[in-house]
Structure 1
């Protein structure tokens, strides 16, 4: 699930939320998105407003970008499902066994993913799997 078009990516979340409320069938990818949406009821009011497609999330004063947050969940789940980078599934399983729930494990791992993506963007280089895995291993 990747696109350079911010509005298009955000629209996917709104469409899935709409389908969930209408109890319409979801594609396999939409079902994954729907599960992430269900895990974040605090974002439901945002997803119920089309104006949220244009909303800016500055990150100031602890303001989180809910669309980015949910996209990181989905990216992490895809990585775990295919075990790419190699070893991430085992790290997830170990971490999940040490924390009260899977959602907390994902949040901890998402910090490493976000940092790796930030570093890559900042340096203008591809994300480093080695740095990412090293960060994840430090969580254990």
Structure 2
């Protein structure tokens, strides 16, 4: 879906934002990107200045959030929800939305679990652990039950 290299990946987001601002038609994934970007108005400067941000490093050590990674994780969650993979995530998401009263907050809670799972995957060099991911989402919702 997205290119593997950082510049091309970021260009996908920047191009979608530019097309939306110009009123041009968007492909479905571009529409998702724009929807997510609109939920994050603090990222507009990153999307509007490609020369400055295509190669920019965002260091978590200095408290910087990588807006492209953040929006990419939103897209990953939307993809998971669309096919209910891992099985049960859609129901947990719905319960989390009901618990928080906010779709965006629910996605951010899931995102923390996804980021943790990806970090463990890299650290431990093991396959992604769906069960641990769903348990984390359950904990993020205060005890939601995965099926």
Paired residue for 1:115? 116
C-alpha displacement of 1:23: 0.4
Paired residue for 2:4? 4
Alpha-carbon distance in structure 2 between the residues aligned to 1:3 and 1:79? 18
Alpha-carbon distance in structure 2 between the residues aligned to 1:17 and 1:33? 8
Alpha-carbon distance in structure 2 between the residues aligned to 1:64 and 1:116? 18
* 1:48-63 aligned within 5 A: 48-50=48-50, 51-63=52-64
Q: How far does the alpha carbon of each residue in 1:26-75 deviate from its partner, in whole angstroms, 9 at most, with x for none?
A: 01111111111111110001111112001100112321111000000010
Number of aligned pairs?
140
Residue aligned with 1:35, SS: helix
Residue aligned with 2:110, SS: helix
Normalised by the length of structure 1, the TM-score is 0.96
List alignment gaps of at least 5 residues for structure 2: 142-147
